[in-house]
Chain A
Amino acid sequence: MIWNKEMECADRETMRALQLERLQETVKYEYEHVPHYAAKMDKAGVKPEDIVTLEDIALLPFINKEDLAENYPTGLFAQPMENIVRIQSSSGTTGKPKIIGYTKGDMEDWGEAVARGLAMCGAGPNDTVHVAYGYGLFTGGLGAHAGAETLGATVLPMSTGNTARQIMFMQDMKSDILCCTPSYALTIAEAVERAGIDPADLQIRAGLFGAEPWTQSMREKIEKGLGIRAHDIYGLTEITGPGVATSCEANNGMHIQEDLFYPEIVDPNTLKPLPPGETGELVFTTLKKRGVPMVRYRTRDICYLMEGKCSCGRTSVRMSRVFGRTDDMLIVKGVNVFPSQVETVIAKFNELTLNYKILVDRKGGSDSIELMVEFAEGLIIDDIDFVENMRKRVEHALREILQIGCKVRFLNAGTLPRSEGKAVRVEDRRKYE
């Protein structure tokens, strides 16, 4: 089902005309209501009336997460608190969280965006939507909740945790659609298997999963374990929360709700816009938000955009899956390298574990990159050809994805230190003097 045919299946000219109209309104509104951004525009020598075409968006300054930190907590709010009906928050990088406020209209648009995503899963007003994202300041739970209400579905506001109870409700209340993080979906799928429940006996038929990166193998396990079709949902609190983009049944990129969120892809080094199809950093401008509007917000997420009509009938631009974050990006031999790309390669080999380290060095003016990766525990190695062959296969797969040569070194299982929390995956030994 397509929830909003007018917006999701609009022809290009109609959509671009609407986007331009809303962009001009947004820039004018931002200039008049957010002094911090007005100052940035003045400094860049650009006025709201300079935005004549959609391409003129490139004249505008970016908003970074640092702008949020500097203006903590509510410096970027465009409306007084009396018009703000909701606060959501996500953790910031500098210790202070990012605080976003929503007007009544912003809440309605958020619900609309998620409702379109739920419809892409095949959900409708007769379905029961099981929300197992956490409820609270995190946008996952309340975002999915708002979308299910807009859709007119029955909402089960489960929140996360107590997996046995999740499964009981799933069975007894006949949940049709599951919304949660992919890792929690996997936990539920594993618990279903342990409980000896046949997934075919569960009514649940599709899931909307997001808020964290996940792999193809996780997708397969979730789909098989719960007997459902898995859809990706993308979003970030700064822009609104989940529902900015969602994948349809074609599973070929996520449709961006581009009448609400205008996407650009820019080169993460030069910050110049890139043509469609090229990989770079995703930048969003909100087109209707009034609580905390965002103009050219740098998401730090790396992906590419796909134009053209999708086999599902929608014409909205699609974004690829996120390949990595510019924060983690390395530039080696002039090429952008993301640890997540390396991780994708490692994940393809059952003989390897995701315990790895990337070592970057510079010798004689030339960069070198080396991957140290542990063999899987219990792997039987009795053959040097096996090791050499593995090395060739992994090096070949890395070259395919990175476009530069990366030396591979295998380590015994358990060699690399396990750190609590986020492991240090990259060691850059280059000296920058």
Chain B
Amino acid sequence: MAVKQVSVFIENETGRLAALTQLLAEHGVDLNAATIAETGEYGILRCIVQNPEETVRILSGGGFMASVTEVLAVGIDNRPGGLNRVLQILSDAGIGVKYIYSTIQSIKGEAVIMMKTGDQNRAEKLLESADVKLCTMDELK
């Protein structure tokens, strides 16, 4: 199953990202996982939080364009080739990976990566049938 992620559009002005993290801190929102994609002028922060809808409300109130999107939280065996195995399954099926990022802390000794592919439904089914662990929101705490 997919987990909910919060995506935030950020104008890359000095202090804009800091303003965002401060806003989250003020509301006691913990980031379980986060990444920033950016060009010179814009950034998109993607993060996993425990209450995505509430977080979107907080961010919107602070003048950010935030929305709830979905990613797969894929458990990766903590040994060489763990990530490769997952990517290979998708690549064999012709599914492209748009981005991946990992949790801030490892979860019970296991690495978890957030993954967005070109075909989330098929990717999910393929990974499940290959016994790759897909985490729930709770498991990302």
Q: Which residues of A line the B interface, CB within 8 A?
A: 375, 378-384, 387-388, 409-415
* CB–CB B44/A411 < 8 A: no
Q: Determine the distance from Cα of A380 to Cα of B69 in the docked complex, in whole angstroms.
A: 8
* CB–CB A383/B44 < 8 A: yes
- Kindly supply a per-residue 1/0 record for chain B positions 31-67, scoring 1 wherever the CB is within 8 Å of any chain A CB and 0 otherwise: 0000001110111101000000000000000011101
Which residue among A378, A410, A412 has the maximum number of chain B CB atoms within 10 Å of its CB? Answer: A412
- Kindly supply a per-residue 1/0 record for chain B positions 90-105, scoring 1 wherever the CB is within 8 Å of any chain A CB and 0 otherwise: 0000000010000000
Closest to A379 in B: B65
* CB–CB B63/A412 < 8 A: yes
Which residues of chain A come closer than 8 Å to B41, judged between CB atoms?
409
Q: Determine the distance from Cα of A387 to Cα of B41 in the docked complex, in whole angstroms.
A: 10
Q: What 9 pairs across the A-B complex have the smallest Cβ distances?
A: A382-B7, A380-B67, A381-B9, A412-B65, A382-B69, A384-B37, A387-B42, A384-B44, A413-B65
Which residues of chain A come closer than 8 Å to B42, judged between CB atoms?
384, 387-388, 410
Which residues of chain A come closer than 8 Å to B67, judged between CB atoms?
378-382
Which residue among B9, B38, B39, B43 has the maximum number of chain A CB atoms within 10 Å of its CB? Answer: B9
Q: Determine the distance from Cα of A411 to Cα of B64 in the docked complex, in whole angstroms.
A: 9
Which residues of chain B come closer than 8 Å to A384, judged between CB atoms?
37-39, 42-44
Shortest C-beta distance, B31 to chain A (Å), equals: 17
Closest to A414 in B: B63
Query: B77 contacts the other chain (Cβ, under 8 Å)?
Result: no
* CB–CB A412/B64 < 8 A: yes
Q: Please name 11 pairs of A and B residues whose Cβ atoms are closer than 8 Å in the assembled complex, sorted by A.
A: A379-B67, A380-B7, A380-B69, A381-B67, A382-B46, A384-B42, A387-B39, A409-B11, A412-B9, A412-B11, A415-B63
Closest to A386 in B: B44
* CB–CB A387/B9 < 8 A: yes
- Kindly supply a per-residue 1/0 record for chain B positions 2-46, scoring 1 wherever the CB is within 8 Å of any chain A CB and 0 otherwise: 000101010100000000000000000000000001110111101
Known: A380-B67, A382-B67, A414-B63. 8 other contacts (CB 8 A): A378-B67, A380-B69, A381-B9, A382-B7, A383-B98, A387-B42, A387-B44, A412-B64
Shortest C-beta distance, B137 to chain A (Å), equals: 18
Q: Which of A382, A388, A411, A413 contacts B11 (CB 8 A)?
A: A411
Q: Determine the distance from Cα of A410 to Cα of B64 in the docked complex, in whole angstroms.
A: 12
Q: Which residues of B line the A interface, CB within 8 A?
A: 5, 7, 9, 11, 37-39, 41-44, 46, 63-65, 67, 69, 98, 116
Once A383-B44, A412-B9 are accepted as A-B contacts, the answer to whether A375 and B65 lie under 8 Å apart by CB is yes
Which residues of chain A come closer than 8 Å to B38, judged between CB atoms?
384
Shortest C-beta distance, B17 to chain A (Å), equals: 13
Shortest C-beta distance, A393 to chain B (Å), equals: 15
Shortest C-beta distance, B38 to chain A (Å), equals: 7
Closest to B11 in A: A411
Q: Which of A375, A381, A415 contacts B44 (CB 8 A)?
A: A381
Q: Determine the distance from Cα of A412 to Cα of B41 in the docked complex, in whole angstroms.
A: 13
Which residues of chain B come closer than 8 Å to A382, judged between CB atoms?
5, 7, 44, 46, 67, 69, 116
Shortest C-beta distance, B69 to chain A (Å), equals: 5
Which residues of chain A come closer than 8 Å to B37, judged between CB atoms?
384
Q: Determine the distance from Cα of A191 to Cα of B37 in the docked complex, in whole angstroms.
A: 45
Which residues of chain A come closer than 8 Å to B43, judged between CB atoms?
384
Which residues of chain A come closer than 8 Å to B44, judged between CB atoms?
381-384, 387
Shortest C-beta distance, B73 to chain A (Å), equals: 16
* CB–CB B64/A381 < 8 A: no
Which residue among A375, A380, A381, A382 has the maximum number of chain B CB atoms within 10 Å of its CB? Answer: A382
Shortest C-beta distance, A270 to chain B (Å), equals: 39
Which residues of chain A come closer than 8 Å to B116, judged between CB atoms?
382
Shortest C-beta distance, A351 to chain B (Å), equals: 11
Closest to A407 in B: B41
Which residues of chain B come closer than 8 Å to A381, judged between CB atoms?
7, 9, 44, 65, 67
Closest to A378 in B: B67
Q: Determine the distance from Cα of A360 to Cα of B124 in the docked complex, in whole angstroms.
A: 49
* CB–CB B7/A388 < 8 A: no
Shortest C-beta distance, B40 to chain A (Å), equals: 10
Which residues of chain A come closer than 8 Å to B5, judged between CB atoms?
382
Q: Determine the distance from Cα of A415 to Cα of B64 in the docked complex, in whole angstroms.
A: 9
Shortest C-beta distance, A396 to chain B (Å), equals: 17
Shortest C-beta distance, A212 to chain B (Å), equals: 31
Which residues of chain A come closer than 8 Å to B11, judged between CB atoms?
409-412
Which residue among B41, B64, B98, B116 has the maximum number of chain A CB atoms within 10 Å of its CB? Answer: B41
Closest to B116 in A: A382
Shortest C-beta distance, B60 to chain A (Å), equals: 8
Closest to B71 in A: A382
Q: Determine the distance from Cα of A291 to Cα of B9 in the docked complex, in whole angstroms.
A: 60
Shortest C-beta distance, A414 to chain B (Å), equals: 6
Q: Determine the distance from Cα of A415 to Cα of B38 in the docked complex, in whole angstroms.
A: 20
Which residues of chain A come closer than 8 Å to B98, judged between CB atoms?
383
